[in-house]
Amino acid sequence: MRQILITGSEGLVGTHLTQALPTKCYKVKSLDVKFSPFHTNSGNILEMNGLRQAAQGCMGIIHLAAVSRVIWGERDPKQCWQTNVIGQCH
């Protein structure tokens, strides 16, 4: 079975996609900073080792991870920019 990693799997779009892909014969691995007992991994896309580990065995990554609340971006614009735009560049 083809395996896909979804980052931001606990968000609005990620949650629905995580449920929909198995119906199309995809195995889903998920990665989100929030822990959920229903998903595979808790982790941060800015931590390269964890991201590499989560991506092992996957044929692709659907990147949905983001700082999604305006107030969070206002409180920590550097973190927002790093997560939403830069990602992990190392």
- The string of pLDDT tens digits covering residues 32-86 is 887 666 656 788 888 888 889 999 999 999 999 888 889 988 999 998 888 888 8
Strand boundaries in the chain, DSSP class E: 2-7, 26-32, 41-42, 60-63
Report how far Cα 72 is from the mean position of its chain's Cα atoms. Answer: 18
Q: What is the pLDDT of residue 40?
A: 60
The predicted structure's pLDDT at residue 39:
58
38: helix, strand or coil:
coil
C-alpha to C-alpha distance for 39 and 25, rounded to whole angstroms:
17
This prediction has a pTM of 0.80
- Enumerate the domain spans of the chain: 2-65
CATH 3.40.50.720 fits 2-65, yes or no: yes
Kindly state the tokens that stand for 80: 């927002």
Q: Which two tokens mark 21?
A: 């892909």
